[in-house]
Structures are given as C-alpha cells and as structure tokens.
Amino acid sequence: MTDILTITLNPAVDLATTAPAVTAGPKLRCGPVRTDPGGGGINVSRAIAQLGGQSRALVAIGGTTGKKLRQLLAAEGIAVLPFRTTGETRQSLAVTDDSTGEQYRFVLPGPVWDDERVTAVLATISAAVPDHGLVVLSGSLPPGVGADFPHALCATLAERHAQVIADTSGAALHQLANATGTPPFVLRMDQAEAEELATRPLPERSDSAGFAAELVARGAAQVVIIARGADGSVLATADQRLHVTAADVPVRSKVGAGDSFVGGFAMALSRGRDLATALQYGAAAASAAVMTDATQLCRRSDFDTLLPQTVLSPLPL
C-alpha cells in the first residue's frame, strides 16, 4: 500500500450551526454548534479515515486555534505532522438558514507567510515523503505563499518519484493550467474553474473532457479531472477520456464533497487500483459526503452502498 501524505497550509477550525432565518440587522439566535478540523488536505485525510484508509496530514499550525485544531484531529485519529507557523490558525463559519435550507459560509483569512516559512515547509515535506509516495495538496494557499508553490512542491519531490495530486484554486490553479513548471500527476478542478480557464462554456461532458485533454496535452498534468457537480466527473489522460456518474442522493450539504472525492480517489490509487476505479471511488465518496450535515464528510456505509451506483463510461477521444 502506497503512503499518502496530505498537505494543508491554510487550515481552519470549522464551526457549523443553524439559524431560524438569516437576515441583516437583528441578533440571530443559533442552534447547537458543530466544530470540526477543516482545510482541504485535512478534509481529504478525514475522508480517507472515514472510508477505512490511512494517511498522514502535514498541517501548518499556529496560536491557540492551532492547538484546538490539533485536539480535533487527534480525536479523529488522524496522524498529524505539525508544521509550526507564525500567526493564528484561521476559523470558518457555516450557517444554515432553517427557513430556506440555504447555507452561508464565512471563511476568515489565514496568517501571512514569508519566504523563509515557504522554504522550510518544502524541506519538511521532502523529508516526510517516501519514494513513490502519494502527496495531496488541497485547499487554499496562505497569504504570502506564491502561486508557484504547487510547481515548487512538484520539483522538490521529483527525485522521490512522488505522485502529486493538486486540488487548488485561484492564481495557483491558473499557473498549473499554464504548465509553467514541474507538473503534478493529477490536477483536479470544478466545472466553474474549468470554464474560467477555458474562457468558454463547457456544457456537455465531452466538452469538459476535451478541455481536460487540452490541459494534459499542454503539460499541466498527466491526469486532469473536472467535477461537473450532479453530472459526475470527467477524467482525461493522453490516451483516454472517462466519465463517472454521481449517485442520485438527497443533498444536505455540499461542504467537503470535493475533498471527499479526492480522498476516495487517492485511497484507491494507494491500494493499486487503476484510474477508472479510482474515479468511481471518488464519485462514491463525494456522493456520500453531500448526504451528511455540515462538515461531517462521507460515511463508509453510504460509500459502500453508492459505489455500485457510480457508472463509468468512456468518452470519445
């Protein structure tokens, strides 16, 4: 089984609650609060654990909120490699309006990094990754960390022959898509991000798969995955294009669905499964995640039920 290391440079303590109605002006009396460890890589590790797999989570931690974050991770049995950083670990808040079912998400900024911290974390990651390991970089980058960080990470790990799965956004995603440095093994994005990069609509599965193939040909990654929401996901490599359906399930919260996808996908690869099977694992994990409240992510029992419902289909080249 291949080692999985997830990386979360801008983690958060996630708070989730409800209110009878979310309106401006009056004090909003909220319901009970659920507190979870959050951040892309952390959620990937949590999803892997809930699916019965194992990973290690390298997490940048600072201040009293950082201590709380470590306690939450320990309570979930996540193996943590803490990376000390200056400033206070951020918090996020999700409030569900009981009258409409709509969810409002507020995410605070993280601490500002300097070049010294960036160099130090790359060295720490390099020391932690075994040869041919799987590395998942997921979530936003802290203020002060350049958009070229994913490429710097891939270059740092090249001699280890590690396979990097990148699921990021914003300027970092744009730089990865433009193939300006050492590429990751897998690059994942959602439909809106893909359309922004393509500067055109991608209404059909074949459109998304075609753009994913363009990115592969451009050298952005060996594998590109585009999540199409309720329509599932597409995957492209140099010689194949695949679509997997999302299971038809009631949606309670979309928080963590993408991270659950990456968790299921990475877990399958770590067990030696092929890309097609990994795509199904990811789809089943994402479908399971939307069935749970707030930040609970995916349940193993739901994943096992939904996996046969994720239908894999080839798309024309």
pLDDT score recorded for residue 295 = 66
Once rounded to an integer, what is the mean pLDDT over residues 263-271? 97
Total domains in the chain come to 1
Question: What is the predicted pLDDT for the residue at 248?
Answer: 83
Catalytic pick among 259, 274, 293, 304: 259
d(CA 312, CA 202): 20
Q: Starting from the edge strand earliest in sequence, which strands make up the sheet with 186-190, in order?
A: 79-84, 56-61, 4-8, 134-138, 163-167, 186-190, 223-227, 233-236, 241-244, 312-314
CA geometry: angle 151, 73, 69, nearest 5 deg: 80
Would you call 259 a catalytic residue per the annotation?
yes
What per-residue confidence (pLDDT) applies to 212? 98
Rounded percentage of the chain residues whose pLDDT exceeds 90 = 85
Mean per-residue pLDDT, 32-52? 94
Over range 78-94, report the average pLDDT.
Answer: 93
Closest CA to 185 of 124, 243, 112, 136: 136
Q: Is 158 exposed, middle or buried (0-12, 13-18, 19+ CB in 10 A)?
A: exposed
Q: Which pLDDT belongs to residue 86? A: 87
CA distance 164 to 220: 12
- Copy the structure tokens of residue 263: 């968790």
Residue 160's domain spans which residues? 4-314
Smallest Cα–Cα separation from 17: which of 84, 91, 115, 68?
91
For the segment 169-221, what is each residue's pLDDT rounded down to a tens digit? 999 999 999 988 899 999 999 999 999 999 999 999 999 999 999 999 999 99
Alpha helix segments (H runs only) across 93-200: 115-128, 149-156, 170-177, 191-198
Q: Mean of the pLDDT values across residues 123-152?
A: 95
Q: What is the pTM of this model?
A: 0.93
Q: What is the CATH number of the domain that holds 95?
A: 3.40.1190.20
Q: How far is CA 92 from the centre of its chain?
A: 16
Which residue, 246, 260, 245, is CA-closest to 300? 260
The residue count for the chain? 317
